[in-house]
Structure formats: C-alpha cells, structure tokens
Amino acid sequence: MVKTKAEPRSLSGAQMLVEALKQENVKLIFGYPGGAVLPIYDALYQCGIPHILPRHEQGAIHAAEGYARVTGKTGVVIATSGPGATNLVTGLADAMMDSLPLVVITGQVGTQVIGTDAFQEASVLGITMPVTKHNYQVRDVNQLPRVIKEAFHIANTGRPGPVLIDIPKDVTQTAAPFDYSTAMKLPGYQPTLTPNRLQIRKVAAAIRTSERPVILAGAGILHAKANPELLEFVNRTQIPVAHTLLGLGGLPASHPLFLGMAGMHGTVAANTALYEADLVINIGARFDDRVTGNLEHFARGATVVHVDIDPAEIGKNVPTDIPVVGDAKQAMEMLLAENLTVTNADSWRTYLDNLKNEYPLWYINSDEELKPQKLIELVAEVTSGEAVVVTDVGQHQMWAAQFYPFEHPHRFVTSGGLGTMGFGLPAAIGAQLGNRDGTVVALLGDGGFQMTMQELALLVDYKLPVKVVVVNNGSLGMVRQWQELFFGGRYSESLLQTGPDFVKLAEAFGIPGFRVTTFDEAREVLGRELQCEGPVVIDCRVTPGENVFPMVPTGKGLHEMVGVKP
C-alpha cells in the first residue's frame, strides 16, 4: 500500500489563529472581546493560553508593549472591529515609534458588508497603515496561516515593530485545511543583519585616530541584546558613553565612563561630549530631535558613525560619514574583533570626568516639602536600584531617567518617541506579567494616571504586585514648566484643580492606598509598602512648582543648556 502524506486537518479561521498562536509559542494574550471577534474568543475559551482582559483596548496594547519591553517577546493583542480597533491606534503609534514587536489582531465586519458602513465598521487597514510596520486584511481563510506566520516574522525581526492583522468575521468562521509549515516568501523584506566588514574597518580606523570620541547608545543596543558587547567594547577602548532615554540600562549607570542621558534633559557631560566630540559613534539610536537639539549645532566638528538595523534611519536627520547597516550585536562583535585598544583620549576623559563632577544633576533639597527628585532617589534606594521602573510621560519621567540608576537592561519601560500619556499604568501591568517575580514600580504623574486609571482593576484581577507611586504635583507638570519658561507663566489649562482622592480610588478597587506629603512619611511608607506582597497606590504630594533641569530649550543646540547649576 502506498503511504500518502496525511491531509492537513480542517479548522475554522478562529481555530487556525489559536493554533498558530500556540505554534508561535505565545504565552499571553492581551485583548478585549466584541461582536466581530466572538468566534475568536470562542476558540480561545479554554485554549490554554492565558488572556488578560483590560478595561479599555488602549490598556491592552500598552500592557502588551510593557510585556514586550521587559521580555523581548512579541506582544499579542486582540480587539474587535470599529471602536475596538480604533482604540488601539495610540498604542500602535507608540510601539511603532519605540520599535516594539507586537502582533495585533482586529476583528472586521463580514466580507459581504465591508465598505457599506456596517455596524462597528472602520477602515482599520487605512487607519493603521501609518502606525504599523505592516498590516494585512485577510479576505480568504486559506491565506490566514501564511499571514500570521509572516506577521510574527516581520514584527520581531529586523527593526521590530507592530504588525496588524484585520480578520473579517466570516473568515474566522470558515473552515479550511490548516498547514503552518509552509515556507515564507517575502522578497521585499530581507533585513541586513551582518554589517559590511569594510565599513567596520573604517569605524575602527576612525576610532584609532580619534582624540575626542563618544558613543551614543540607543535602544537598538537593548533590542539586539548587545549590552555585554558594549560593556566589553567600552572597557577595552575607554570611550565614554552618552545614552538616549530608551537606551538607559545599556551600560550600567555606575560605570565610570557612563555620562548619563543626552538631549533636552540630559547631563552637561553627555551633551558637551556630543557637542565637542571629534567622533560620534551612534549605536542603535535614531538621532531624535529630543536628543540632538538644533541640528545646526549637533556634532558639527565630528566624524559621525551610525550603526542601525534600519537603513532609512541613517542620514535621515544627521549626515553620516560612516554608515553601518546591521544588527547592533553583530556590529559590536565585529568591532571587538578589530582588536582596538585604549583610545588616545586621556585629556578628553579627564575633561568629561570633571564636567560630571562639576555639573551633576541637582535639585534644591527641602525638609518641609517632598521633592520629586528626592522621591525618585528614595524609590531607587528602597528597591536597591533593581526594580523594573515603568513611567508615564512628563516631568516624573525625566526625573526617573535622571535620578534612577539603571544598572541592567530592560528595566526601564517608558514611552519615548510618541510620549504617550496614559502609557504608564497599563505598561506596568504588562511588565509585571512579563516579570512575575520582579519588583515593578509604576511611576505616574497625576495627569497620566487619570488617563488610564481604570486599569487598576487588573492589579486585583491578576494579583499583580505593581507598586504605583503617583508623583502628584496637581498639574500637567511638563506643560506647566513650558508655560512658566516660554509663555510668561500663563498656566493655560495645565493645573489639575480637582484631582480625585487617589487613596480612596485605590481602595475602591480593593488596593491599599496611602498618601504622603513629606520625605519622612515617604520613606516610612515606601520602605514598608514596596516590600509587601500585593499592589499598592502611594499618592506622593510633591513640590508643585518644581521644574526639570538642566534643559536644552527647543531650537537651541546642546551647548546652550539652561539650569545647569542651582
């Protein structure tokens, strides 16, 4: 008898999706059900993959981002058609800007009614095209396995990013043979991982002759898990390192060559290094305007090396002398193989060291008030600098970047490129789900917290011991700061007059809540509650008028910082 290959079994589109998620080794799904995804939710019922139900779709996608950020795995999100899908747009844009791998499944109305303004119909393909790395609408169930496979591949290879799959309801209900083993053919998508050796040699030559070199280390280091290589490279060459916001944790903050964060609220040492360098080696950063300041003054006398996995980032903002397209880890490995030794930059290192000592980050201490910067230092002290710190967006975010010493990669979860208020709490939930045993501190401003505070429910639902520390200054602090500095103190709509009682709010969700107004109270409550097992909300009433300094005003160069000294 002739043995024939077994026919692939027939599954509905929804069952195919679940089967494919299993084969992609998906450990967690974030989602919110609705009409168009009911067949998918039926297939998920008792499928074995845990599902996290937020209170708003935005919560689901930010949680997936937090999860992706701390685990490096692809976050999976499901939402229904129309409003469910449009509620994801902010999170998609956020993940796109910060290069986070997500696979997002949205339901769509049936293929027969697409284009008729059917109930809960929105053109999700059109809406999300600018905020996804790629997106699909699957009109034929036979295409579904291929599309899911491609989506995961595209999301977490090359420069990571969000990929969306829009599935009409009838496609999820139609059965077809399921075969997930087919080879992928994506001729238009072939990321370059291995850098060109000739270019690496040019970088090595530039390093050998440089007297004032500096590395600008971005999130690409973390995505590529290239931090051991970076450390080795820095130890060997003794080149100082300035970090971008999202790159923090790439080099331990305690390293003698760590200059701190560069850019708008960066340190004097980091910004001066970038301004006066003769060689800037950018690894995995995209020369965002918050880092470069006015481009006219940026790295003017320097040879610019740019290592990036995305060729389109090279030369986009800053003209590059030595472009290196490739994975940061491979680039660092190849550079290490060039056997570089300590750079001839002794006086440069001394100069920057002196700047570090002369212009440290500062704030004026007070016994009467709770200074937000001191609060961040306290959080660092209480958590021994080992916590996963998740922030929202604004002043507290910058203080966290300045005053929390990040010794390890993947411990700082923050919305960099898009600056999404409301990101913090749901991202902390995702971070805790991805790092069950770690201490996760959600540092939130009172403004951003109020954008997504309904997600507190999840801390109880899923027993997540997230420590919510509200840096409460009764205002949209960064907006207030800008109005103070650039709009003559006209505080147009930036003061939150009637914030809720966060302690009662926490208690309403079944979470212990505390309020602290002095440093001593803060030390006592944080010291006690951050060691406890469950979640907690601590409303910290900090000095309301405090500003983030130093600062590079918009339109100015990195050498034109203000507020560098008290």
Binding site residues, another protein, CB under 8 A: 125-126, 129-130, 133-134, 137, 154, 186-189, 192, 194-196, 199, 310-312, 314-316, 319, 323, 325-326
Report the residue count for the chain: 566
Residue 302 per-residue DSSP state:
S
- Cβ atoms of 355 and 528 closer than 8 Å: no
Told to judge if 169 belongs to the known catalytic residues of this protein, a careful annotator would answer yes
At closest approach, how far in Å is the CB of 510 from another protein? 44
Q: Which is nearer to another protein, 326 or 513 (CB)?
A: 326
CA dihedral 91, 314, 191, 89 (to 10 degrees): 10
Tokens linked to 252: 């331990």
Query: How far, CA to CA in Å, does 106 sit from each of 47, 163, 176, 423, 530?
Result: 19, 11, 20, 21, 37
Told to judge if 238 belongs to the known catalytic residues of this protein, a careful annotator would answer no
Cα gap 479→442, rounded to integer Å: 21
Q: Which is nearer to another protein, 129 or 337 (CB)?
A: 129
Cα gap 297→293, rounded to integer Å: 8
At closest approach, how far in Å is the CB of 296 from another protein? 15
The catalytic residue among 73, 133, 149, 169 is 169
- Cβ atoms of 244 and 217 closer than 8 Å: yes
Residue 399 per-residue DSSP state:
H
At closest approach, how far in Å is the CB of 309 from another protein? 11
**Pairing mode of beta strands 51-52, 322-325:** unpaired
Told to judge if 373 belongs to the known catalytic residues of this protein, a careful annotator would answer no
The catalytic residue among 478, 509, 549, 561 is 478
Told to judge if 546 belongs to the known catalytic residues of this protein, a careful annotator would answer no
C-alpha torsion sign, points 154, 156, 161, 164? positive
Strand partners, 324: 307
Which amino acid, 484? E
How many alpha carbons lie under 13 Å from residue 115 in its C-beta half-sphere? Answer: 2
At closest approach, how far in Å is the CB of 313 from another protein? 9
At closest approach, how far in Å is the CB of 315 from another protein? 6
Q: Which is nearer to another protein, 319 or 405 (CB)?
A: 319
Query: How far, CA to CA in Å, does 193 sit from each of 74, 324, 326?
Result: 19, 10, 4
The catalytic residue among 19, 57, 65, 150 is 57
Tokens linked to 417: 């490129």
Q: Which is nearer to another protein, 191 or 438 (CB)?
A: 191
At closest approach, how far in Å is the CB of 432 from another protein? 33
Q: Which is nearer to another protein, 134 or 297 (CB)?
A: 134
The catalytic residue among 22, 112, 119, 565 is 119
Q: Which residues contact 354 (CB under 8 A, 6 or more apart)?
A: none
Told to judge if 478 belongs to the known catalytic residues of this protein, a careful annotator would answer yes
Pick from 362, 346, 322: which is nearest to 240 by CA?
346
Q: Which is nearer to another protein, 252 or 315 (CB)?
A: 315
At closest approach, how far in Å is the CB of 297 from another protein? 18
Q: Which is nearer to another protein, 163 or 522 (CB)?
A: 163
At closest approach, how far in Å is the CB of 278 from another protein? 23
Identify the burial level of 143 via C-beta atoms within 10 angstroms of its C-beta, where 0-12 means exposed, 13-18 middle and 19 or more buried: middle
Residue 140 per-residue DSSP state:
S
Q: Which is nearer to another protein, 187 or 488 (CB)?
A: 187
Which amino acid, 55? R
Burial pattern 170-209, b for ≥16 Cβ within 10 A else e, equals bbbbbebebebeeeeeeeeeeeeeebeeebbebbbebbee
Q: What are the catalytic residues?
A: 57, 119-120, 169, 478
